[in-house]
Protein backbone atom coordinates (compact mmCIF):
# COMPACT_ATOMS: atom_id res chain seq x y z
CA UNK A 1 0.00 0.00 0.00
CA UNK A 2 1.45 3.39 -0.92
CA UNK A 3 2.21 5.85 1.87
CA UNK A 4 -0.22 8.69 2.68
CA UNK A 5 0.61 11.93 0.85
CA UNK A 6 1.00 15.47 2.11
CA UNK A 7 1.54 19.04 0.98
CA UNK A 8 2.87 22.03 2.88
CA UNK A 9 1.69 25.61 2.52
CA UNK A 10 4.03 28.35 3.78
CA UNK A 11 2.22 31.67 4.21
CA UNK A 12 4.19 34.88 4.42
CA UNK A 13 5.48 37.92 2.53
CA UNK A 14 8.70 37.78 4.54
CA UNK A 15 9.74 34.53 2.85
CA UNK A 16 8.90 35.72 -0.67
CA UNK A 17 10.73 39.02 -0.24
CA UNK A 18 13.87 37.20 0.88
CA UNK A 19 13.88 38.89 4.27
CA UNK A 20 13.44 35.63 6.16
CA UNK A 21 14.85 32.28 5.22
CA UNK A 22 12.24 29.56 5.68
CA UNK A 23 13.31 26.90 8.16
CA UNK A 24 10.08 24.95 8.48
CA UNK A 25 10.00 23.18 5.12
CA UNK A 26 13.23 21.32 5.74
CA UNK A 27 12.10 20.38 9.25
CA UNK A 28 8.66 19.13 8.18
CA UNK A 29 10.09 17.20 5.20
CA UNK A 30 12.30 15.19 7.52
CA UNK A 31 9.58 14.56 10.12
CA UNK A 32 7.11 13.37 7.47
CA UNK A 33 9.69 11.05 5.94
CA UNK A 34 10.29 9.47 9.35
CA UNK A 35 6.53 9.08 9.88
CA UNK A 36 5.97 7.42 6.51
CA UNK A 37 4.04 10.29 4.92
CA UNK A 38 5.24 11.33 1.44
CA UNK A 39 5.59 15.11 1.07
CA UNK A 40 4.60 15.68 -2.56
CA UNK A 41 4.40 19.45 -2.91
CA UNK A 42 5.22 22.68 -1.11
CA UNK A 43 3.76 26.07 -1.93
CA UNK A 44 4.79 29.44 -0.58
CA UNK A 45 2.19 32.21 -0.96
CA UNK A 46 1.94 35.79 0.22
CA UNK A 47 -0.33 37.26 2.92
CA UNK A 48 -3.15 37.58 0.41
CA UNK A 49 -6.68 36.18 0.98
CA UNK A 50 -7.22 34.88 -2.57
CA UNK A 51 -3.79 33.28 -2.71
CA UNK A 52 -4.33 31.47 0.60
CA UNK A 53 -7.87 30.28 -0.15
CA UNK A 54 -6.99 29.04 -3.60
CA UNK A 55 -3.84 27.22 -2.43
CA UNK A 56 -5.63 25.59 0.52
CA UNK A 57 -8.49 24.37 -1.64
CA UNK A 58 -6.14 23.15 -4.38
CA UNK A 59 -3.98 21.21 -1.94
CA UNK A 60 -6.52 19.73 0.46
CA UNK A 61 -8.35 18.05 -2.41
CA UNK A 62 -5.17 16.59 -3.88
CA UNK A 63 -3.32 15.23 -0.84
CA UNK A 64 -4.18 13.27 2.30
CA UNK A 65 -2.80 15.91 4.68
CA UNK A 66 -1.95 19.62 4.38
CA UNK A 67 0.32 21.44 6.82
CA UNK A 68 0.44 25.24 6.90
CA UNK A 69 2.93 27.53 8.62
CA UNK A 70 2.66 31.23 9.35
CA UNK A 71 0.09 33.97 9.80
CA UNK A 72 -1.67 33.01 13.05
CA UNK A 73 -0.33 35.74 15.36
CA UNK A 74 -2.04 38.83 16.79
CA UNK A 75 -1.25 41.44 14.12
CA UNK A 76 -3.17 42.76 11.12
CA UNK A 77 -1.05 40.70 8.70
CA UNK A 78 -2.01 37.44 10.42
CA UNK A 79 -4.90 36.39 8.21
CA UNK A 80 -4.43 32.64 7.96
CA UNK A 81 -7.22 31.46 10.32
CA UNK A 82 -9.88 33.62 8.64
CA UNK A 83 -8.87 32.42 5.19
CA UNK A 84 -8.78 28.75 6.18
CA UNK A 85 -12.36 29.24 7.40
CA UNK A 86 -13.20 30.92 4.07
CA UNK A 87 -11.62 28.06 2.12
CA UNK A 88 -13.81 25.53 3.98
CA UNK A 89 -16.87 27.79 3.91
CA UNK A 90 -17.33 27.67 7.68
CA UNK A 91 -17.71 30.56 10.11
CA UNK A 92 -15.03 31.75 12.48
CA UNK A 93 -15.12 33.63 15.79
CA UNK A 94 -13.39 33.77 19.16
CA UNK A 95 -13.92 30.32 20.64
CA UNK A 96 -14.32 29.68 24.37
CA UNK A 97 -11.76 26.88 24.64
CA UNK A 98 -9.09 28.94 22.86
CA UNK A 99 -9.99 32.04 24.88
CA UNK A 100 -9.63 30.08 28.13
CA UNK A 101 -6.12 28.96 27.15
CA UNK A 102 -5.05 32.53 26.40
CA UNK A 103 -6.78 33.94 29.49
CA UNK A 104 -4.87 31.52 31.74
CA UNK A 105 -1.60 32.29 29.96
CA UNK A 106 -1.88 36.07 30.33
CA UNK A 107 -3.38 35.88 33.85
CA UNK A 108 -0.33 33.93 34.98
CA UNK A 109 1.84 36.76 33.64
CA UNK A 110 -0.26 39.58 35.04
CA UNK A 111 -0.93 40.73 31.48
CA UNK A 112 -4.16 41.75 29.84
CA UNK A 113 -5.98 39.66 27.23
CA UNK A 114 -6.33 42.66 24.92
CA UNK A 115 -8.08 42.74 21.55
CA UNK A 116 -5.06 41.70 19.40
CA UNK A 117 -4.32 38.79 21.75
CA UNK A 118 -7.96 37.75 21.65
CA UNK A 119 -7.69 37.57 17.85
CA UNK A 120 -5.52 34.50 18.39
CA UNK A 121 -8.59 32.74 19.86
CA UNK A 122 -10.41 33.04 16.51
CA UNK A 123 -10.89 29.39 15.49
CA UNK A 124 -12.98 28.11 12.57
CA UNK A 125 -16.10 26.10 13.47
CA UNK A 126 -15.39 22.40 13.77
CA UNK A 127 -11.63 22.72 14.17
CA UNK A 128 -9.59 20.83 16.79
CA UNK A 129 -7.02 22.88 18.68
CA UNK A 130 -3.29 22.14 18.42
CA UNK A 131 -1.43 22.83 21.66
CA UNK A 132 1.29 25.49 21.71
CA UNK A 133 3.63 24.83 24.65
CA UNK A 134 5.80 27.84 23.77
CA UNK A 135 3.45 30.82 23.76
CA UNK A 136 -0.05 29.35 24.36
CA UNK A 137 -1.86 30.66 21.25
CA UNK A 138 -3.12 27.42 19.67
CA UNK A 139 -2.98 26.14 16.12
CA UNK A 140 -5.82 24.02 14.79
CA UNK A 141 -6.74 21.15 12.52
CA UNK A 142 -9.76 21.53 10.26
CA UNK A 143 -10.47 18.41 8.21
CA UNK A 144 -7.12 17.38 6.76
CA UNK A 145 -5.56 20.86 7.11
CA UNK A 146 -3.24 21.49 10.06
CA UNK A 147 -2.64 25.17 10.74
CA UNK A 148 0.53 26.04 12.65
CA UNK A 149 2.68 29.01 13.58
CA UNK A 150 5.62 30.24 11.49
CA UNK A 151 8.04 30.78 14.38
CA UNK A 152 10.23 27.66 14.07
CA UNK A 153 10.22 26.67 17.77
CA UNK A 154 6.41 26.81 17.86
CA UNK A 155 6.02 25.15 14.47
CA UNK A 156 8.19 22.26 15.60
CA UNK A 157 6.28 21.81 18.86
CA UNK A 158 2.96 21.80 16.98
CA UNK A 159 4.22 19.24 14.44
CA UNK A 160 5.27 17.04 17.37
CA UNK A 161 1.71 17.30 18.75
CA UNK A 162 -0.09 16.61 15.46
CA UNK A 163 1.98 13.97 13.73
CA UNK A 164 1.49 11.02 16.13
CA UNK A 165 -2.27 11.23 15.55
CA UNK A 166 -2.03 10.92 11.76
CA UNK A 167 -1.92 7.63 9.86
CA UNK A 168 1.61 6.95 8.66
CA UNK A 169 3.07 4.43 6.28
CA UNK A 170 6.43 2.80 5.95
CA UNK A 171 9.20 5.27 6.82
CA UNK A 172 11.39 5.90 3.79
CA UNK A 173 14.96 4.79 4.34
CA UNK A 174 17.87 5.88 2.22
CA UNK A 175 21.46 4.92 1.67
CA UNK A 176 24.05 7.09 -0.02
CA UNK A 177 27.24 6.37 -1.92
CA UNK A 178 29.77 9.14 -2.43
CA UNK A 179 31.75 8.89 -5.65
CA UNK A 180 34.72 11.01 -6.67
CA UNK A 181 33.53 10.95 -10.28
CA UNK A 182 31.32 13.37 -12.25
CA UNK A 183 27.73 12.22 -12.54
CA UNK A 184 27.96 12.15 -16.33
CA UNK A 185 30.37 9.19 -16.03
CA UNK A 186 28.01 7.03 -14.01
CA UNK A 187 24.70 8.25 -15.43
CA UNK A 188 24.22 5.35 -17.85
CA UNK A 189 24.95 2.70 -15.26
CA UNK A 190 22.65 4.34 -12.70
CA UNK A 191 19.86 4.74 -15.24
CA UNK A 192 20.05 1.02 -16.01
CA UNK A 193 19.90 0.13 -12.32
CA UNK A 194 16.90 2.44 -11.78
CA UNK A 195 15.00 0.65 -14.56
CA UNK A 196 15.42 -2.74 -12.92
CA UNK A 197 14.25 -1.41 -9.51
CA UNK A 198 11.02 0.51 -10.18
CA UNK A 199 10.10 0.29 -6.46
CA UNK A 200 13.15 2.34 -5.44
CA UNK A 201 13.95 5.98 -6.11
CA UNK A 202 17.51 6.71 -7.23
CA UNK A 203 18.85 10.22 -7.13
CA UNK A 204 22.16 11.60 -8.26
CA UNK A 205 23.50 14.85 -6.76
CA UNK A 206 26.65 16.40 -8.18
CA UNK A 207 29.07 18.37 -6.05
CA UNK A 208 32.24 20.36 -6.74
CA UNK A 209 35.37 20.39 -4.64
CA UNK A 210 38.82 21.82 -5.25
CA UNK A 211 39.83 18.35 -6.44
CA UNK A 212 37.14 18.20 -9.10
CA UNK A 213 33.63 16.86 -9.56
CA UNK A 214 31.94 14.21 -7.48
CA UNK A 215 28.50 12.68 -7.15
CA UNK A 216 26.37 11.51 -4.26
CA UNK A 217 24.08 8.68 -5.24
CA UNK A 218 21.06 8.24 -2.98
CA UNK A 219 18.77 5.22 -3.14
CA UNK A 220 15.47 5.55 -1.30
CA UNK A 221 12.64 3.15 -0.59
CA UNK A 222 10.43 1.77 2.13
CA UNK A 223 12.08 -1.69 2.22
CA UNK A 224 15.47 -1.36 3.96
CA UNK A 225 16.72 -4.68 2.55
CA UNK A 226 15.86 -3.71 -1.01
CA UNK A 227 17.70 -0.41 -0.56
CA UNK A 228 20.78 -2.13 0.89
CA UNK A 229 20.92 -4.73 -1.85
CA UNK A 230 20.55 -2.09 -4.59
CA UNK A 231 23.45 -0.13 -3.09
CA UNK A 232 25.55 -3.31 -3.12
CA UNK A 233 24.53 -3.98 -6.73
CA UNK A 234 25.61 -0.43 -7.62
CA UNK A 235 28.98 -0.97 -5.91
CA UNK A 236 29.49 -4.17 -7.90
CA UNK A 237 28.53 -2.52 -11.19
CA UNK A 238 30.92 0.37 -10.54
CA UNK A 239 33.77 -1.99 -9.69
CA UNK A 240 33.13 -4.02 -12.84
CA UNK A 241 32.90 -0.88 -15.00
CA UNK A 242 36.22 0.51 -13.82
CA UNK A 243 38.18 -2.71 -14.63
> Where do contacts with its own copies occur on this chain (CB under 8 A)?
10, 13-22, 25-33, 38-47, 51, 73-77, 114-117, 119-120, 134-135, 151, 153, 172, 174, 183-185, 187-188, 190-191, 194-195, 201-208, 213, 218, 220
Cβ nearer to its own copies, comparing 26 with 110 = 26
Taking the complex as a whole, the smallest distance from the CB of residue 85 to its own copies amounts, in Å, to 20
Taking the complex as a whole, the smallest distance from the CB of residue 126 to its own copies amounts, in Å, to 26
Cβ nearer to its own copies, comparing 92 with 137 = 137
**Contact status, residue 215 vs residue 183, Cβ threshold 8 Å:** yes
Taking the complex as a whole, the smallest distance from the CB of residue 104 to its own copies amounts, in Å, to 15
From the number of C-beta atoms within 10 Å of its C-beta (0-12, 13-18, 19+), residue 133 rates as: exposed
Cβ nearer to its own copies, comparing 58 with 128 = 58
Cβ nearer to its own copies, comparing 107 with 125 = 107
Taking the complex as a whole, the smallest distance from the CB of residue 215 to its own copies amounts, in Å, to 9
**Contact status, residue 79 vs residue 21, Cβ threshold 8 Å:** no
Taking the complex as a whole, the smallest distance from the CB of residue 157 to its own copies amounts, in Å, to 12
Cβ nearer to its own copies, comparing 77 with 125 = 77
In b/e form, how buried is each residue of 56-83, taking b as 16+ CB within 10 angstroms? bbbbbeebbbbbbbbbbbeeeebbbbbb
212-221 vs 201-209, strand pairing mode: antiparallel
Cβ nearer to its own copies, comparing 79 with 128 = 79
Taking the complex as a whole, the smallest distance from the CB of residue 100 to its own copies amounts, in Å, to 17
From the number of C-beta atoms within 10 Å of its C-beta (0-12, 13-18, 19+), residue 123 rates as: buried
71 torsion bin: left (phi>0), alpha (psi -120 to 50), beta (else): left
- 192 — phi, psi (to 5°)? -65, -45
Amino acid sequence: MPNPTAAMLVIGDEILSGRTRDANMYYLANELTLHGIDLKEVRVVSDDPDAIVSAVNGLRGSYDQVFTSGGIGPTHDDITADNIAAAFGVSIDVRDDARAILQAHYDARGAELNAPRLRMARIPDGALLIENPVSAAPGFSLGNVHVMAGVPSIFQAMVANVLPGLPGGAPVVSEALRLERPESEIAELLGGLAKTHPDLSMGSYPFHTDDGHGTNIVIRGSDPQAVASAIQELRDLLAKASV
